[in-house]
Amino acid sequence: MTLNKSLLALLFGSLQFATFAQSNDIYGVMRTPGQGTNVAAGTVRLGKLDVNSGVLTPLSPSSLASVIVATGAALDPITQTYFFQTQTDLVAVNMLDGLPSAQNALSNPIAPSYFDNYRFNTSDSTIYGLARRSTSTGIGQVNGELYLATIDPATGVITQISPQSVGQTYAVQGCAINPHEMVYYYSNQGKIIGLDLYNGQVYSEQTITFPQGGLFFDNYTYNCADTTIYGLIRTSTTIPNVPYLGKIDPQTGVVTRISQQPLPYNSYTINGSSTIDPDNGVYYFSALLPQGGYAVAGVSVTTGLVVFEQLITPQGTASNSLFFDLLRHPSDCSEATPTRVNPNGSNVGLANASKSVLKVAPNPFEQQFTVCSDQMIEALTLRDAQGKIVLQQAANSNTLEVATGSLQSGVYFLEVQTANGVELVKVVK
Structural domains in the chain, CATH included, are 5-328 (2.120.10.30), 358-428 (2.60.40.1220)
Q: Smallest Cα–Cα separation from 257: which of 239, 274, 242?
A: 242
How far is CA 413 from each of CA 295, 335, 350, 356, 400, rounded to the nearest angstrom? 36, 13, 13, 17, 16
Q: Which is more confidently placed, 337 or 328?
A: 328
CB 13 within 8 A of CB 270: yes
Mean pLDDT of the chain: 85
Cα 329 from chain centre: 10
How far is CA 133 from each of CA 113, 258, 292, 392, rounded to the nearest angstrom? 5, 37, 37, 48
Q: Which of 63-72, 176-185, 409-418 has the highest mean pLDDT?
A: 176-185
User: Omega of the bond prior to 262 within 30 degrees of 0, cis?
Assistant: no
Helix (H) or strand (E) holding 315: none
Residue 22: is its pLDDT beyond 60? no
Find the mean pLDDT for residues 336-360: 66
Instruction: Please report, as a single letter, which amino acid is at residue 61.
Output: P
The reported pTM is 0.81
Residue 9: is its pLDDT beyond 50? no
CA atoms of 390 and 189, how far apart (whole Å): 42
CA atoms of 48 and 59, how far apart (whole Å): 7
Q: Left, alpha or beta for 349 (phi > 0: left; psi -120 to 50: alpha)?
A: left
Instruction: Please report, as a single letter, which amino acid is at residue 349.
Output: G
Helix, coil or strand: residue 102: strand
The residues, ordered by sequence, that sit 6+ positions from 10 with a Cβ below 8 Å of its Cβ are 33, 70, 269, 323, 325
pLDDT tens digits for range 97-156: 999 999 999 999 999 999 999 999 999 999 999 999 876 555 555 568 999 999 999 999
CA atoms of 108 and 156, how far apart (whole Å): 8
CB 162 within 8 A of CB 148: yes
Find the mean pLDDT for residues 203-219: 95
